[in-house]
Amino acid sequence: MHRIDIPDHVVQRVIARCGTPHPYAVLEPRRTALVVIDMQNGYMRADVGHACVPMAVEIVPTINRLAAHVRQAGGGVFWVQNASDERSRQEWSVLEAQASPARRAARIRSVSPGAVGHEFWPDLDIRAEDSIVPKYRYSAFIRGASDLEAILRQRGYDTVLIAGTLTNVCCESSARDAMMLNFHTVMVSDANAALTDAEHNASLISFYSFFGDVLSTDEVEAGLLAGARQGAA
């Protein structure tokens, strides 16, 4: 697991801004959605992937535990599945232009629908009541990326927990956009994975400083319990 290191001066900055170190310490369960980003073979298996993140395998048990608690509390679980197709490559040509021909070919092989790399990691506990949402950009919330925003609003969710990989790419991009679309947004510190501890922590610090909250899985579980108690009072 990543070593989490958020300096005290960052925490104090958040307290000065929000009046508390954790603005989303209490979570209303039935309005909370766990959004799991890109936990697919293409990012977790070196033999079929194009951008393997070894730490992503290590967070699978934590994500499964988190999903179980969200479901039990009455929230929803959404598995976001990154993909590449001809239309997305034309509409997001800037990404294509940044990559070498070999890199573009590897990504197409890795996350095209129907490819082994596009499939979810087999040890994920994906249940029938969960939702699978295709994604065609880094962020799941930006225009043209997916239908996630519309689905969440239709089902009454206003709070988003972000988990998955990579912390500092698709997860942080999705978390920032969710906040700017007016969702209460939390990045779950031990349920995200990056290539290094340094990149993981830099992403969490940046998000925590200005966009939303950073909570551990233990803290999320406590927050859901506290929210349930408040709702029952």
Q: Is 127 exposed, middle or buried (0-12, 13-18, 19+ CB in 10 A)?
A: exposed
pLDDT digits (tens, 9 = 90+) for 94-112: 766 676 777 776 676 778 8
The rounded distance, in Å, linking the Cα atoms of 52 and 193 is: 11
The rounded distance, in Å, linking the Cα atoms of 144 and 91 is: 9
pLDDT band at 201 (very low <50, low <70, confident <90, very high): very high
Q: Who has greater pLDDT, 116 or 50? A: 116
**Range with lowest mean pLDDT among 53-62, 87-96, 133-142:** 87-96
pLDDT digits (tens, 9 = 90+) for 161-172: 999 999 999 999
Q: So what's the pLDDT on residue 96?
A: 66
Q: So what's the pLDDT on residue 37?
A: 98
Report the C-alpha dihedral over residues 184, 188, 189, 190, rounded to 10 degrees: 180
Contact 166, 53 (CB under 8 A): yes
Nearest by Cα to 126 from 160, 83, 78: 78
Q: So what's the pLDDT on residue 83?
A: 87
In the predicted model, what is the mean pLDDT of residues 43-49?
A: 91
Contact 43, 56 (CB under 8 A): yes
β-strand partners of 164: 37, 192
Q: So what's the pLDDT on residue 13?
A: 96
In the predicted model, what is the mean pLDDT of residues 16-34?
A: 97
pLDDT digits (tens, 9 = 90+) for 81-94: 998 777 767 776 67
pLDDT digits (tens, 9 = 90+) for 212-233: 999 999 999 999 999 998 876 5
Question: 127 pLDDT exceeds 90?
Answer: yes
The rounded distance, in Å, linking the Cα atoms of 11 and 42 is: 35
* Mean per-residue pLDDT of the chain: 93
pTM: 0.94
Contact 157, 96 (CB under 8 A): no
